[in-house]
Structure formats: structure tokens, C-alpha cells
Amino acid sequence: MDFHDRLHELRHKKKITQSQLADVIGLKPTAISNYESGRNEPSFDRLKAMASFFNVSSDYLLGISDAYVPLSEEILNREVVELFNRYQSLNQENRKKLDTYMQFLEFEQNSPS
């Protein structure tokens, strides 16, 4: 999914108009319309502002990653993000296998030796 599709999708999920988003970002509504139609692309500063507003990574917003990793006050550990991205690439059957294996590891770790 491209940037313009992600922007449109996120705006609709948040149930705001192009005008409302434009007000938050400090733009005119036509700028948001042009972003969503693919006619224009935002500056880095505008991209960062939109990612922050929607609470997503800029990689997600740009379509580089399909991992919808919400941002938070704490910085995510790179290993956690990589694990999350790998998990998302698995099909449902392999996700179940991974969950079973993780339960086994937790059991093994917490069992007295």
C-alpha cells in the first residue's frame, strides 16, 4: 500500500475530514487532498507530524512496512520490532506453532531445575 492509500485509510479510521487533518498539520485542505490523490508528497516535517498524529511509524505511513507499530512514550527495542515484523510475515498456522513453542519455552524457563 502506498503513502496516499495509507493516509486516506488512517484518516478514515480516525473519522476526521481532510480539513480537520489540515488544521492539525498546519496545511490547507487542498494539500491533504493532493497527498491522498498522489499528486503531491509531504515534506519530512509534515510526514513526521502526520505519523505522530496517527500514532504510527513513518515506515508504516510510507508503505515501507506493513507492521502497524504504534508509537509510545518509550522507545521500542529494535529486537522487539524485528520480532513483531517477523511474526506478521507468518501465516496463521505458523503463528500458532510459534505461540505453542513460546509457551513451551516459558514453561521450561519457569520450571524448577
pLDDT at 75: 54
Q: What angle do CA 84, 89, 91 make, to 5 degrees?
A: 120
pLDDT level of residue 72 (50, 70, 90 thresholds): low
What is the identity of the amino acid at 79? Answer: E
For residue 11, how many other CB atoms are within 10 A of its CB? 20
CA distance 79 to 101: 18
pLDDT level of residue 73 (50, 70, 90 thresholds): very low
Residue-wise pLDDT for 16-70, tens only, equals: 999 999 999 999 999 999 999 999 999 999 999 999 899 888 888 998 887 766 5
pTM of the model: 0.63
